[in-house]
A and B are shown apart, each in its own frame.
Chain A
Amino acid sequence: MSRFRTGAGGRIDRARGINFTFDGRLYTGLQGDTLASALLANGVHLVGRSFKYHRPRGILASGAEEPNALVTVMRDAGRTTPNLRATQVEIYEGLAAKSQNRWPSLEFDLGAVNALASPLLASGFYYKTFMGPRFLGSNKAWAKLYEPLIRRAAGLGRAPEAPDPDRYARRYAHCEVLVVGAGEAGLRAALDASADPHCRVILCDEQAEMGGWQLNAGSDDLVEMLETLGARPNVRLLARTQAFGVYAQGAVALAQRLTDHLAAPSPETPRERLWQVRAGEIVLATGAIERPLVFPGNDRPGVMLAGAVETFANRYGIRPGERAVVATTCNSAYGAAFALKQAGVDLAAIIDLRDKPDPALAANALKAGIPVHTASVIVGTEGHKRVRSVRLGKVEPCGIVKSTDSIACDLVAMSGGWVPSVHLFSQSRGKLAWNGETGVYSPGKDAPGQKTRSVGLCSGEFPADMRGFHNGALPTPDEKGAAKAFVDFQNDVTARDIRLAAREGFHSVEHVKRYTTTGMATDQGKTSNMNALGILSGALEKPVPDIGLTTFRQPYTPVTFGIFAGANRAGLFDPVRKTPAHAGADALGGVFEDVGLWKRAHHFPRKGETMHAAVNRECRAVREAVGLFDASTLGKIELVGPDAAEFLDRVYVNSFAKLGIGRCRYAVLTNEAGYVIDDGVVARLAQDRFHITTTTGGAGRVFAMFEDYLQAEWPELRAWQTSITEQFATFAIQGPKAREVLAPLVEGIAMENEAFPHMAMREGRVAGIPARVFRMSFTGEAGYEVNVPAGEGARLWPVLLDAVDKAGGAVYGTEAMHVLRAEKGYIIVGQETDGTMTPDDVGLGWAIGKGKRDFVGKRGMMRTDLIAPGRKQLVGLETLDDKTVLEEGAQITDTPTPAPGSAALGHVTSSYWSEALHRPIALAVVAGGRGRMGETLHVPMPGGAIPVRVVSPVFHDPEGARLHA
């Protein structure tokens, strides 16, 4: 047995040795050890380098609050986790861990030269130093030079670069009572609550074993309590589970570690599980965190919290040193002293700040042969990678500190008293109340909608032995001393830094936090908060409660990205929506694009064809013969009821009251402000029944808007909408041969031009399948859109494809569709519109029902700035050279070289090569555009301005004769 292990006791299994490595060196620990206890059992105290100054650092605490001992645990390239607290890592056979923030090695770290420059690295150093040079432009130097350098030099572990191969699970759970923390108070709360078999109780604890401080004692009570809870079917016990965030209305997020403690976890088993709990009541039993003492050199390896020392000795059977000094302001540290004595550690002294420590404890100490120095503090430490001695200081009645003896020791157990762990209560937005008697903030009133109860130490109710405290830095003989007294170990913030911030005018605790970085980041001030407030209080000469308190943020301890991603990555990142004809389009070699969650075929290249060649060929097919297009993703709504037409009259700008049965109308939707937000086609199936199409991307939004108006604004209207987007597969057959292709397949519909004119709708059968057939066009050619039940789409697709093929036509994708509609000046919502275009702006003023009393957007459209002259209007553009295709989004100006800072007249919204016109075409919005027909404007580009002529946006068949053919 190692000389750093006690002979007996504790919760480790002394028969089961476990081999692991730290920084490549092989060590042996015991089953039940954390990485921290196993390292201490091997006499290793130096475990990391500090964030800013690269100072040697050891293990300070024994639990989640550990600020120093951050390590990286590596299983393989993708299974590498940085910034784990060694006090929470359970060792397993073969565990490989390494220290962080050191180079080339932990023992010899070049970054430690920072310490020499430390007078320069005071608070606000980055803000003050890395400001220039100005000629590079604002912040250029910071982003390009300083920040990358600083990030490399300082900081935490490195994120792994290989993909994480692990699975992460997620579950929602509901309970009447959630108990966070399975120490004595939490266990009792869970027992009480679960006595009622109808009360579902979840008890979680971040440690591998439940019991909290009880695990230091090994009580029979604990075994019995856990057995009782385990036997109750209404209780769920979650060990290794960190409650890391409390959110609104009893929502609590728990991270459960499922496999991190296993030597060879199955790749099938999730590594972690996120529990999203909705609790009727949240019982917080999160205990208390010990305050470090702030004295010069308090960060040397070997300086630990007294409670942690006691835990390591009692629970893990560790002798954390040969010769110890206990420094305290609180009775509880005497327990550590006695535990160390019990473990066979030599006790050099108890240094108690108080004039009159508890007489019984002091007597016991003296009886045990431990000298007790009252009204005393540590004023300095010696040693480099391990504390070697401390210097004792005597606090005179006047407050002056006199440095006296030096005491040799290799372990300092310190206690500045205790602070209730109120992080989760604070996250729940509860109000914290200041308690001057114990010098802490404790839970006060719950936030609205929250029901929490803090039990045990986290309530701030401490037993007498835990009440002694000191907030802030200990008195020292040398206020300007160069030695650093650390407040925030993780962020390397010293007492001097906080005083400096106060001197420089940072009086708000929020500002001091950000200026000095104390209490920030992953640590969230677990060990530093109260001391920082104490120092600030002294510096500002204001009582602590007048300074305020920063907000504790989620998560309580760092959480993996994996647990947030869960299953939502790679193929399951988002649902992938495929149309009924997807497989058919895929088989044709279709190249798909994402439109919202949908996959849409963009173009169908034939062998050796470029995208442009394919799109040009597809456009020619539609203009010269016939094209087939999958339009299934369009949003569709069936609106039914006696007031359906009235509803449509009110929401769309168009009039529908007089729309005949079997007729369709292009419809424009604006928002209340009068701006175009969607468009589509409305067909009247019957007096009280309409089939409405929306844009693909707007389907959900339009449905929600309609529902809002139906339910909230006009509940008197008797009309109901049903989404039928996915009820139908929709295929467009467009081109001069469209009728020739479709007619032979159709039953029950007279297909002649006069019987079935443009903008009409008929119901019948296509290839034997019941269908709603619309005669309409988004290409400028005569055409049809065939809607069949979605389940029949895959069957109809090849039939249509075959017919189109035989007529010399082709299947076309969204890109050809875009070109064809642009040739006709048809807008696409979101391309020609940007949320600030009225129907009139985009040339759709004709669609507005003139006789209507009111509709959504009517009043908005009448606002003076929306009818003022000079608004941007939709126009066509032709490049004068007849060959340059403009860039979409390019600015348009009236001179080729506009003065810097002058405003553009507008911008290009759509731009394509038009195969039909054998020239480039563009749509644009230009100030007063319709009054500029024939004018030459300019599109300034990096290679020089491109002259363009303003023309009508309808390039192809302006009379529309082809539509009606």
Chain B
Amino acid sequence: QERKVTGRILDGSNSGIPGATILVKGTQIGSNTDENGNYSINVNSESSILVFSFVGFQTQEVPIGNQSIVNVTLVEDVNALEEVIVTGYTSEKKKDIIGSVSVVNTKTTLQQPSSNLGNMLQGRASGVTVSGTGAPGGAAKVRIRGFTSFGNNDPLYIIDGVPTDNANALNPQDVESIQVLKDPVSASIYGSRAANGVIVVTTRQGGTKTEISYDGYYGIQALPKRAYPSMINTQQYYEYLQKAAEGAGIPFKSNVFQNGIPKYLVTNMNVNQNPGDATNPNFDKYNYDPYSYDKTYQIAELSQGTDWFHEITRNAPVQSHQVTATGGSEKGSYALGVNYFGSDGIFKETNFNRVTVRANTRFKPKKWLTVGQNLQVAFARSSGSSGNPLDLGGGLDFAGEGSPWYNSYRVPPFIPVRDIQGNFAGTSLGEAGSNLTSPVVLARNKDNKFSGLTLLGNIYAQIEVIKNVTLSSSFGIDQRFGNGYNFNFITPEKAEPIRNNAFSEFFFRGGSWTWTNSLQYKLEINENNSLKLFAATESIFDQFRSISGNRTDYDFNDPSFWSLNTGKNLPQNNGSPSTPRTLYSIFGKVEYQLNNRYLFSGTLRRDASSVFGPESRVGIFPAVGLGWRISEEGFLKSISAINDLKIRAGWGQLGSQRNVGSSNAYSFYGATLTGTAYDINGTNGLPVIGYRPTVIGNPSTKWEAAEMVNVGIDGSLWGGRLDFSVEYFNNTTKDLLVGRQPNGLEPTVGQPQINVGTMSNKGVDAQLSTKGKITKDLSFDIGLTFTHYVNEAIKIDADGSSALLFGAGRLGNIQKVEGGRPLASFWGWQVDGIFQTQAEVDAHAAMSYKRVGSWKLRDINNDGTINGDDQTYIGNPIPKFQMGTDISLKFKDFDFQTFLFWNYGNDLYNYTKWSTHLRGFVGGYSTDVLTDSWTPTNTGASLPILNANDTYSGAISTSFYVEDGSFLRARQMQIGYTLPAGLLKKIGVGRARIYLQGQNVFTITKYSGPDPDIGILGNELQMGVDQFRTPAPRTIIFGVNLGL
């Protein structure tokens, strides 16, 4: 009695699964689902059992009984051990991996909208440290297992097989998987570029199922309250000035406040002709001339206390819209994506927009041939800065004295935003600081633009020459084109007025191509023994060219007038071709699996690079790894709780050449009008250009070799309910490239990188995940990552004797790099409280400024004098550990997710306090100046007594600036709802989910600056210093995921 059974096979999101297999158990009778997941099959017995299966899902068996309709929801295969992981040139099953590979859970990670890849990684993979800022489109800085070099330690990004250092142009929504290769076994196949770790990204490919989806969100970004400093108002400012004069023992004298707080302020008056004008304006004379300082007579009503920070920040929308189409058949597949990402800056008048188009296709015209291509075209545009926002530190990622945040510290509160006529008010009156107000800076910069185009992708072919032997070839490009321009305005309202305007513009183009050819041989000896061989060659070529020009004296400020032709003064044009960098490599890999238990892997790469002289051009980078799947041994096999347990160890050498200039091997002379000219004719016109040695080359500079050891244990317990991985690593970089320290008697000429240093990073990474069901409807999935490392610069120069010192902003020597210490350690004098009595002052060591109420600096060497010898280490910017916790809960159609990030045990150097607390310049000051400065009645204060002539406390680097940088941040909290499938079906929608999400929901920290998440920002040797970065906003997002 053969009868027909029909039904639909669904996935977890209630979409039909096309192409799934239905088999009557024990027979050859089978069927497949159609494109909507529907099937029909004939069965001949009530006792028949149907077997439903599809790749990536757990096979399910259903006894039919008397049913004629059997609908099945297949559960995704939780056995992650069989998951295939792309580890670079090759891929492997997770259970067979013996290198250190962190697989980022892209599913949960992608739920947190990010503008770029770097930001996605914070806390998501063990061993990966990330710091970012709140700049729109702003890149994050990523470090893997510490620092292997003194220069750039960016990891190598491989996107669909194409290396790039510009992963920020990638649209995160196209990402299918992210793997982080952290150790020699996994990464050494990348040889000389792998020492900083490798991040392998695969973009979405088409399958056999045709899908069109829309994923979009819209959100509002706003700075959390804690980011705003508490600044004094005008009345308090007046008090402060009086107290400071009193503390100095000098009469109070002020151009503005001499007779109390005035009602009006006049900017650019002739104080001698009209001495009363400064605060008592002649209204008939009002004039604001954007071209002339001399003709401007600006009148403004004095402000009771302008809150500059709120004047420049806003609630800024951020949005992303992504349409993806995937589909195909066995013969060919495609994945197309179009994305628009737009974000206004937290700072007014700044924004960033990016459109990316992706087309990935793959064809298999013959059984032995696969050809395909991956390509992303990204167009980015930003307003408010001409710098490239796709580069770290470029574009809208403002820092230092150019930052709007800094300007807001530097203008005193009594200046209003606008004058009586609505023009931006200024600071030219005496004692009002020197800077422009931040709102006017932002307004004037709004038409400064950057636009850039990046092309990233490859074409490839794979040929199965004979059975098990595959020949592959891939040609990839990473090409960039960019243009930026900006205009500098005349600033009649400013002290230190700019008296002529200027325009500058630049173009650049360049990038790399990579050609890889490989041969792969795979032999399954039997079920439990297999051998894989891989050999390849690769060529990489990289070069940039750029031109720029600038000109001064424009008659009009109108943006439509801006060009390099329309200025009146002599133009200056510059161009700088970079010297090409080329790399030629041969490499191979052997993997052997014995008895499904013992795993062996060996890699060897030979790189030849153009940046080294012919004698030392070649570097050889070997690595070996061993794994023991201990759970396959008899004595553990019987323990059912243990599904998998693997011990693995690896050793290898990885290289780095990133910090070697492309012409490091050569000595040469340069000639520029800006650097080698002299007016020998005494013409006061164009000087004569000469030649000077610009760089000393070192042909014998060779590869820096990081020797790495990695030991790990991975396990999967209770049927995959608990997965863990714990690893120990010990990495030592030898022959570390350090800029040659010239002898103190040599001329100042560019120095080559030479191999003299040694640095070590040791630590532990751990990753843990657990999932399961609490009730039938409530399931959970918790992931945890842990990162800990200790960094030590063992040796930094040939003699091992000297140290590198760095200043920050206006402070000198705040950081020191020295053998035996962590990189970038903070350096200065230790403040041991405040002198409370004259007796204490007298008893203490001699200091250049000491009195009752001033800081007591520690006499480190006990010689009775505080001088340079009493400087000491006052902090370490490297965290003790970082931890990320990802918690997902699912209840019926609701899902809840939260991601917490905990950074613990680092110090930050809060340089912002130089401006606000130690009053580096005339400007705005923190309210702490009034509440936390020493007075006879406020003896527990942390700031010294106010003294207008205290030129000492703010001139030196002290422990006062050093703060605990630990923080716990709720990076993300989200609640989502998946609409019932039945309802959707009626309107022809496959799946629909809506969600509400908060980013940076809360931050717990003792750090007093605007944002503690700046730990590793900045140059490696100068990291951990808060120099007015854009704080990260809190973002509330509403999003939709739709599938047709």
Are chains A and B native binding partners rather than an unrelated pairing? no
Which residues of A come within 8 Å of B, CB atoms?
none
